[in-house]
Amino acid sequence: MTRIDQTFARLRNQNRKAFVAYIMGGDPDSDRSLAVMRGLPGAGVDIIELGMPFTDPMADGPTIQLAGQRSLEGGMTLDRLLDMVRAFRAEDETTPIVLMGYYNPIYSRGVERFLTEAREAGIDGLIVVDLPPEEDDELCVPAQQAGLNFIRLATPTTDNQRLPTVLQNTSGFVYYVSVTGITGSAAAQAGDVGPEVARIKAATDLPVIVGFGITTPEAAQTIASVADGCVVGSAIVKLIGEGRPTEEVLARVADLAAGAHAA
């Protein structure tokens, strides 16, 4: 079992929903980003999604695009990102880390080398938003053979004909994108999300986590109540981009986590 599998098993035993937090690695610089990352578990985060900055983040809205630009301008590279993970792992051996981003930096590095280094650094799973299931042999299958979960996105446009293909090689959890469009673009609605989560859960035993459009503790509670948990990204990244102190960012994360855990 990966750390992700172990976390969901523990949460099921506790009858609790998962709270997943996204931050952009290296935003606005390595030291600040690592300080926030180290504080996330204590703020109630069950799984950390760590963004890989990329120059052309086509699925992301302005908030996360700007975070990626700040990170790159601050000198963040894939090597430095993995060093961040190693530094985190020196203090925390249990919190799962999912690397989220685009295939280009992985392809440029070489899949085999990337997977070896990611696993050694302490990465538990990957979300690569621009590799469809038809390309599973490119990264998904090798990643799972290397012991990493490969987490797939399902969306409101993933119909029943497409869903089995999406789920075929997915592991860890299914990430349900609650709204069409880019990150931070609209508010998630439980009335829309609930039936879709139920449809996905009827086709898989994997947990279903809902992301996009969750910005308040109340929304986190409402969405988590119809799924196995929720992801918050843009609302956290926005505070970092505003230059808020680390303590303020983590206090807001704790409020969001408390909302999800109350579901």
User: Do 76 and 68 form a contact (C-beta atoms < 8 A)?
Assistant: no
Residue 255 a catalytic site member: no
Q: What secondary structure does DSSP assign to 38-107, as a single string? A: HHTGGGT-SEEEEE---S--TT--HHHHHHHHHHHHTT--HHHHHHHHHHHHTT-SSS-EEEEE-HHHHH
Q: What is the CA radius of gyration of the chain?
A: 17
Catalytic residue among 49, 124, 196, 228, which? Answer: 49
Report residue 124 as tokens. 């538990």
DSSP 3-state of 140: helix
Residue 60 a catalytic site member: yes
The dihedrals phi and psi of 153, each to the nearest 5 degrees, come to -95, 135
Q: How many CB atoms lie within 10 A of CB 15?
A: 6
Catalytic residue among 5, 60, 124, 196, which? Answer: 60
| CA–CA distance, 67 with 167 (Å, rounded to integer) | 30
If phi over 0 gives left and psi between -120 and 50 gives alpha, with beta otherwise, what is residue 26? left
| CA–CA distance, 108 with 224 (Å, rounded to integer) | 37
Indicate which residues carry an active-site annotation. 49, 60
